[in-house]
Chains A and B, each alone.
Chain A
Amino acid sequence: MSASGREVWITGAGLVTALGEGRAAHRAALADPAALAAARDEAAFAPFAIHPIRALDLDRYMPRRGDQRATGPWMHYGIHAAGMALEAAGVLGDAALLARTHVLAAAAGGERDTALDEKILAEAAGAPTPAALTVTRLAEGLRPTAFLAQLSNMFAGNLSIVLGPAASSRTLMGEESAGVEAVRMAGRRAGAGQGDLFLVAASYNAARLDMLLLHRLGGRLLEGAWTDLWSRPPAGMCLGSMGAALVVEAADHARARGARPLARLVRVAHAWSDRTAGAAAAAAERDWADLPRDSSTLILSAASGAGPATADERDFLAGRGVVRGTAAAIGHGVEAAFAANLVLGAWCAEDGAFPALSSHPVEAMPAAAPERVAVSGWGVRRGEGLAVLEPVR
């Protein structure tokens, strides 16, 4: 809601996922079921399928070896996407604009040294004082640089060091809702004149044993062969690596510097229901009430695949527009999921069509040229996010 007056645009977007990097790669892969299947990896962490990023031209936005060494894949993905977004917006390398760019990151933490974890666990299992042994082995084995690659705020910190945005830097945490809140805050601040130029960035690395373990402990991960997103059991999440970034900018600021919009950010809503039966739908309904229920709305859903939130979101979205569950193609990127869907939405606000990703009836409404894109993202535990984009004509 840019209720406070100023119109807000998305003037740059960057995305790297299992499908590749950038707009053309995503458009091509989304239309190619064989490419989608090939992008999944059912072997590396079997019996858990993931959607990994296999290759990244790291040198493109992070040429310094020192920067590459000081960061892990989790940071690489997000910083790469941020470089793409800044480049698309015409901000990359422009010191004057970067000095006025505010960063809002959605982040968890960076990679652990899981080999060290396993070594310590093996030795501690037979030790008379496992706690003391853990302390000794950690003190011997942990690397100082690894810590800085793990801290949540250091994703944004490294982003500023590598790419240069320097007005401010805030990192939001808290799974899916952190991603919604980063976009919402950027939109509100730009709309209210608390800044003109914002970089929203988020990242997720699915190829991590510690992350798989965290979600497995909650009974969230799909086990066995990959299946259709909308028909999975409650343990239905396939994680996906992704870096996603958006330049969110006050329209008057963009116009003044001749920047072209990808889309208008009409509003971002974030409800917080207690998830008792029907509560999420009731909360979301207040935010969706004024949207027409027809094919004029293309709905990109960031539903994770895990239930009951995915089933509830699916049932809520059915009949409201042309629905696409994008985790079928790119996996679930937790903190990065909402921003990734917003990037895809911003790209197709201009492009129009978005191929169906599932044969489930929720995706059955015949597609038409959309007048708006609604990005829906209900967190696995909490938070019901909605962003509405329109083409700027």
Chain B
Amino acid sequence: MSASVAVTGIGMVTALGQGVAANWPALLAGRSGIRTLTRFPVEGLRCTFGGAVDDDGLGGLPAAQRCLAMGRMVASEALAQAGLTGSGFGGPLVLALPPIELEWPQRRALAARAAAPSYAAMLAAAAGDADDPAHRDFLFGTVAEQLAEAFATAGPPVTISTACASGATAIQTAVEAIRRGDCDRVLVVGSEGSLQVEALIRFGLLQALSTHNTDPAGAARPFAADRDGFVMAEGAAALVLERPAAAADRGAAILAYVRGCGEAADTFHRTRSNPDGGAILRAMADAVADAGLAPDAIDHVNAHGTGTPENDKMECLALQLLLGERVGRVPVTANKSMIGHTLSAAGAIEAAVSILTLRHGLIPPTINHHHPDPALPLDIVAGAARPFAGRTVLSNSFGFGGQNVSLVLGLDPA
């Protein structure tokens, strides 16, 4: 068992709105943030919808700038709740971020400036300077650099990608730094703004996305028999993590604890889990053990629950192996049914939702669960929010590439 780490502030933005105050009631009410995309032409695409965050002109920005803007929103909210808005945060930033690339509007603009629409001509015409946005804003380090500067975090910021597990990996990385005494607190941000055309097409080509184009709000159907893929979405969450004694010393209110973290790499396949469920079971079991608990102490599962046929089947199998005969009695919910799959941010957003669940004693529903899958004997919190009196939540995040992370969050430090 390892030491628990306190959470003293959270912030979030999703397709349901900005801030915990907008998101929590919407989540409890079972609202969907998924809509037909308007940010770029979608005619003829296999999937034409998603959970876009278009507030405040964000839709017109390149993905990295959208990640930065959402990162600023959620970090401000979390720091305000933690009472840490003064000068100097006093700990590092750990950021979960998607990969960054030059996008098509920029690429077309460069080609238009060049003598010909070729890389050779663009290279010849492109001599800029270090602060040219076409350069700076497409480096992988810039979002973290600017967030670190904006919130005066200490030392080098860490930018992490473990695909769909990134947000949870960022939390784990922060927990480890606090546990080994490197720092007293860490600002964790997971931000995902990748709803740009090429990313949507790429995920579509993997046949990973739902294609319920005529019913966007009903498309994400985690654990349902008629699930057909995930829904790409944007959003961000921030968590202020602190050594409990340091939080207590400054009189900060502790919202919950990260009690345990587990991770496991699957060596089986690029997009599929090993059919034995071994790696995702190992991630979950290690998180429970790291928390000093037995699987019996898990009161609720905030599932990865993407709504792909494969993920939900494998997650169910691993939960059966972890929870044994209790599996049908532990409530499971999938936030992605409402907010879509926020990819790099999902682990952070769902950890934040898990904390709200613990504090408010209410589990947000899994919507679109009209046709339960008889092959998945789970207690899905379908339809409406459910009262909850438990003390611990297991939050799962599994990524393409076999990077699996589970977190145990709880109201008690031990």
Q: A residues near B, CB below 8 A?
A: 4, 45, 48, 70, 103, 107-109, 112, 114, 117-118, 121-122, 124-125, 129-132, 134-136, 138-139, 142-144, 147-148, 150-154, 156-158, 160-161, 164-175, 177-178, 180-181, 185, 188-189, 192, 194, 209-210, 212-220, 223, 235, 270-272, 274, 379, 381-383
> Is B119 within 8 A of A114, CB to CB?
yes
Q: Could you tell me which residues of chain B, from 131 to 157, have a CB within 8 Å of some CB in chain A?
A: 132, 134-136, 138-142, 144-145, 148-149, 155-157
- Among B100, B163, B198, B267, the residue within 8 A (CB) of A166 is B267
- Among A117, A129, A148, A165, the residue within 8 A (CB) of B41 is A129
Report the minimum CB–CB distance from B139 to chain A (whole Å): 6
> Is A189 within 8 A of B141, CB to CB?
no
User: Which one of B201-209, B245-253, B353-361, B370-378 is at the interface?
Assistant: B201-209
Instruction: Using A158-B270, A173-B140, A272-B156 as known contacts, say yes or no to A4 and B263 having CB atoms under 8 A apart.
Output: no
Specify the chain B residue showing the minimal Cβ separation from A155.
Answer: B401
- Among A131, A164, A168, A169, the residue within 8 A (CB) of B40 is A131
Is there a chain A Cβ closer than 8 Å to B73's Cβ? no
> Is A157 within 8 A of B403, CB to CB?
yes
Q: Could you tell me which residues of chain B, from 96 to 146, have a CB within 8 Å of some CB in chain A?
A: 97, 99-102, 104-105, 107-108, 110-112, 117-120, 122-123, 126-130, 132, 134-136, 138-142, 144-145
CA distance A175 to B144 in the complex (A): 11
> Is B132 within 8 A of A219, CB to CB?
yes
Instruction: Using A170-B173, A173-B159, A272-B156 as known contacts, say yes or no to A121 and B108 having CB atoms under 8 A apart.
Output: yes
Specify the chain B residue showing the minimal Cβ separation from A70.
Answer: B270
Between-chain CB contacts (< 8 Å), 14 pairs: A108-B99, A117-B107, A138-B198, A153-B166, A154-B163, A161-B269, A164-B267, A168-B263, A173-B159, A174-B159, A178-B140, A213-B102, A235-B127, A381-B139
Report the minimum CB–CB distance from B354 to chain A (whole Å): 21
Specify the chain B residue showing the minimal Cβ separation from A307.
Answer: B130
A153 — which chain B residues lie within 8 A by C-beta?
161-163, 166, 399-401, 403
A173 — which chain B residues lie within 8 A by C-beta?
97, 99-100, 140-141, 159-161
Specify the chain B residue showing the minimal Cβ separation from A382.
Answer: B145
Q: B residues near A, CB below 8 A?
A: 40-46, 97, 99-102, 104-105, 107-108, 110-112, 117-120, 122-123, 126-130, 132, 134-136, 138-142, 144-145, 148-149, 155-163, 166, 169, 173, 176-177, 179-182, 197-198, 201-207, 263-271, 279, 399-403
CA distance A38 to B185 in the complex (A): 50
CA distance A20 to B128 in the complex (A): 33
A212 — which chain B residues lie within 8 A by C-beta?
119, 123
> Is A139 within 8 A of B201, CB to CB?
yes
Instruction: Using A131-B104, A154-B401, A381-B145 as known contacts, say yes or no to A117 and B266 having CB atoms under 8 A apart.
Output: no
Instruction: Using A135-B197, A171-B160, A181-B158 as known contacts, say yes or no to A4 and B181 having CB atoms under 8 A apart.
Output: yes
Instruction: Using A121-B118, A147-B206, A161-B402 as known contacts, say yes or no to A381 and B130 having CB atoms under 8 A apart.
Output: yes
> Is B139 within 8 A of A172, CB to CB?
no
Report the minimum CB–CB distance from B187 to chain A (whole Å): 14
> Is B119 within 8 A of A138, CB to CB?
no
CA distance A158 to B132 in the complex (A): 34
> Is A160 within 8 A of B99, CB to CB?
no
> Is A180 within 8 A of B156, CB to CB?
yes
CA distance A166 to B120 in the complex (A): 41
- Among B101, B127, B136, the residue within 8 A (CB) of A109 is B101
A177 — which chain B residues lie within 8 A by C-beta?
141, 156
- Among B135, B206, B207, B264, the residue within 8 A (CB) of A217 is B135
Report the minimum CB–CB distance from B179 to chain A (whole Å): 8
- When A and B form their complex, which 3 residue pairs have the shortest distance between CB atoms, in order from nearest? A157-B401, A174-B141, A218-B135
B160 — which chain A residues lie within 8 A by C-beta?
170-173
Report the minimum CB–CB distance from B277 to chain A (whole Å): 14
> Is B119 within 8 A of A147, CB to CB?
no
Given contacts A142-B205, A151-B99, A382-B141, 5 further A-B contacts (CB under 8 A): A124-B108, A161-B402, A192-B180, A213-B123, A219-B135
> Is A151 within 8 A of B400, CB to CB?
yes
CA distance A310 to B4 in the complex (A): 43
Specify the chain A residue showing the minimal Cβ separation from B399.
Answer: A153
